Amino acid sequence: MNQPFSFWDRHAALVFALKTFAAAMLAFSIALLLDMPRPYWAMASVYITANLFTGATYSKAVYRILGTLIGAAGTIVLVPNLVNASELLSLGIALWVGICLYLSLIDGTPRSYVFMLAGYTVALLGFPIVSVPQAAFDIVVARVQEITLGIICASVVAMVVLPRSVASAVTTQADAWLGAARRLGVDVLAGHGSDQDRDNERIRLAAAASEIDQLGRHLGYEVAASTNIAQGLQRLRQHMLSLLPLLGSLEDRKLALNSDGEASERVAAIGARIARWLEEGGHDEQETDALRTALDEVQPALDVDAGWTDIKVAGLVIRLRNLVDVMHGCRLLREAIADGRHPEQLPLVFKPDTLTMVVPHRDHGSALLAAASVALAVLGCCAFPIAAGWPDGVAAPLFAAVVGSLLAGVDDPLPTFRNFYGLFLIVIAVHGIYLFGVLPRITAFEMLIAALTPIFVLFGWMAARPATARVGAMLAIYFSVQLALTETYSADFSSYANSSVALMFGVALTGVICGIVRLLGAGWIASRLLRSNWTTLAAVAERRSDQDRFAIASLMQHRLALLATRITVVPAEARSDAANLRQLRTALSIIDVRRASLGLSRRARAAIEAFFARLAPICRIHTTGPLPDDLVGQLDDTIASTLQESSGESRDQVLMGLAGVRAGLFPESPAYQPREIEHRTVAA
């Protein structure tokens, strides 16, 4: 990294806090000059939109504008038509919030912000104008203008003042990821560390890769990022998707050869050379070519007399060759990205046909449960003020919609809401100090800026740090809205007390309802993630899912990333299987077998499809523990049937693919033993 930028990178959180506060004050001052009715909404919108990276700020700005417009349209449709039926209006807003939140959780990409914002914007705009429905259109239009002003100011400041590129951040994170992957490769080849250490590192790498994916989705909104860089990063991500299952397969195949001293010796030397090459960064082109030549010499020929040991050695050698090709391709792509060259110009050995987009995991059940809990919380917060005749209590469902939506992604709501409850109590106290102790003494705009700087810079700094990002952003938005800064000072204790009580009531009731509805917590979500891997494997075996290797690899590795935050509730055996990506590796082996089996006889293809047909329903209902013993027997029969085929490339690929299925599904089973197969039995 260039030295002149090191200072700004070290203090990125503080720089972001100062930039965002400057943008907020710019938006607030322009709103005052334009005589907007609620200029503080422009200020709050800056904190809703701002991001550490320029491209992410632009994309968030686009999504916020779209979400605001959709929410504004929903407000105009719902409030004037249902204002005389408060129960129906409450139900309509609650359903709107729930449906939009469900769509947001299902989408799972930065674009999901459109749906979430469209949901709680109706609450933000709708509840305050219930008392003046005749002015709904004018108020909504004014609010959209204020929000748009804040978005523009946040985007302009992000572009002009010390901009941070998404492309540079993605490449920096990718460099760190590849360095860690090389170290894991060395550990696998040299046998360093424990199995648990390597499992933990794979889980960590999967989580880091998911973060890179999320950040990379903002590249299209960054004008400074060229098409060459964007496509280079996509190619690099495809290589990264191949590395984790490849390293897991290498580890299993090395372990399978350890019982055969002679076979292990045949590949030990070349494995040690590749480990040294990885330690040195893989920069030596001559050594790269020499490694490929050495691997070609070590690889056994799978002729008609080839045994299971030869198949295992050949499979390991091919995986080592894949490792060399993928890591070499990563280095070439990284250099091309730095130079701005197009990836098509590179001599990549590992070169997929298409630029497959990352496929995220979607859990409709947990998304529906989370959305329903927030909708019920909004409905409950509406019911109490209506029943109690508390007009100022209309703020309670507003806060329920906003806080509930922002915290919908947490597994165990009650502890999170308890933490936020304490924070909001502190902020309410600080709000009171500012409202009644500081603001009455402000006589100039410069004094207002000086008074607000400490608290908003603190919130901005918190929003820029991953550990406190959600808390910092929420507090900044809340404080901006609750201060309700306008051209003239006006505040009374009754309004302050009512809004504070409504906030605490809304947050408390939302926490209780979400905690009850989502009582199952992290363990239930983790079990669903593990179950979905088996379901995907069954779909691949049945040809009911996408047969794109990279789509499946990205889907299952995203699940591993989601498991990373819940790994403490995952049983040890299931954790090891997930970390080793056994279901993913098996699915990829099935795809390879199917493609290569087209060159085999009809009898051999029938045996292979019969095994897959038997495997699919077992995987669909499987949870934990070993698979049935007779299933590995049928797989061994299929291997024996394939061994009887005429030697050739198709036969070799099918054999190594079936060996991959065996290693993935039956790692503890005894080694394959040669057997005779009666053709009529296979045909049956």
Q: For the stretch 313-352, what's the b/e string if a residue is b when 16 or more beta carbons lie within 10 angstroms of its beta carbon?
A: bbbbbbbbbbbbbbbbbbbbbbebbeeebebeeeebebee
Q: Does residue 133 register a pLDDT over 80?
A: no
Are the C-beta atoms of 149 and 19 separated by less than 8 Å?
Answer: no
Residue 679's pLDDT is 45
Residue 684's pLDDT is 28
Residue 262's pLDDT is 72
- Quickly state the pLDDT bin for 79 (edges 50, 70, 90): confident
Give mean pLDDT, residues 491-517. Answer: 88
Check residues 352 and 507 and name the one with the higher pLDDT. Answer: 507
- Separation of alpha carbons 54 and 156, rounded Å: 9
DSSP assignment of 463-501: HHSGGGHHHHHHHHHHHHHHHT--SS----HHHHHHHHH
- Quickly state the pLDDT bin for 680 (edges 50, 70, 90): very low
Token reading at 668: 């503890």
Nearest residue to 153 (alpha-carbon basis) of 35, 64, 217, 37: 64
Give mean pLDDT, residues 442-455. Answer: 91
- Separation of alpha carbons 111 and 131, rounded Å: 33
Q: What is the pTM of this model?
A: 0.83
Q: Does residue 551 register a pLDDT over 80?
A: yes
- Quickly state the pLDDT bin for 683 (edges 50, 70, 90): very low
- What are the CA-CA distances from residue 515 to residues 103, 382, 534, 565 (Å)? 21, 19, 29, 19
Nearest residue to 460 (alpha-carbon basis) of 21, 2, 5: 21
Q: Does residue 662 register a pLDDT over 70?
A: yes
Q: Does residue 611 register a pLDDT over 90?
A: yes
Output Rg (C-alpha) for the chain, integer angstroms: 29
Q: Does residue 451 register a pLDDT over 90?
A: yes
Give mean pLDDT, residues 123-148. Answer: 83
Give mean pLDDT, residues 200-218. Answer: 85
Inter-axis angle of helices 521-541 and 582-596, nearest 10? 10
Q: Where are the domains of the chain?
A: 3-164+361-519, 167-221+227-339, 522-683
- Separation of alpha carbons 215 and 60, rounded Å: 12
Check residues 353 and 385 and name the one with the higher pLDDT. Answer: 385
Are the C-beta atoms of 28 and 35 separated by less than 8 Å?
Answer: no
pLDDT tens by residue, 231-264:
888 888 888 888 888 888 888 888 877 767 777 7
Q: Does residue 546 register a pLDDT over 90?
A: no
Token reading at 64: 């916020």
Q: Averaging pLDDT over each range in 123-137, 277-291, 335-349, which range is the top one?
A: 277-291
Residue 237's pLDDT is 83
Are the C-beta atoms of 560 and 510 separated by less than 8 Å?
Answer: no
Q: Does residue 63 register a pLDDT over 70?
A: yes
DSSP assignment of 345-364: GS--SS--SS-PPP-----H
Residue 91's pLDDT is 92
Identity of residue 216? G
Residue 616's pLDDT is 92
Residue 184's pLDDT is 92
Nearest residue to 60 (alpha-carbon basis) of 164, 141, 151, 158: 151
Q: Say how many C-beta atoms besides its own lie within 10 A of residue 260's C-beta.
A: 15
Give mean pLDDT, residues 586-591. Answer: 91
Are the C-beta atoms of 251 and 257 separated by less than 8 Å?
Answer: no
- Separation of alpha carbons 609 and 100, rounded Å: 43
Residue 356's pLDDT is 59
Give mean pLDDT, residues 339-365. Answer: 75
Q: Does residue 127 register a pLDDT over 60?
A: yes
**Angle in degrees, CA 466, 503, 79, rounded to 5:** 105
The percent of residues in the chain predicted with pLDDT above 90, rounded, is: 22
- Residue 490 CA to its chain's centroid (Å): 44
What is the overall mean pLDDT for the chain?
84
- Separation of alpha carbons 332 and 354, rounded Å: 18
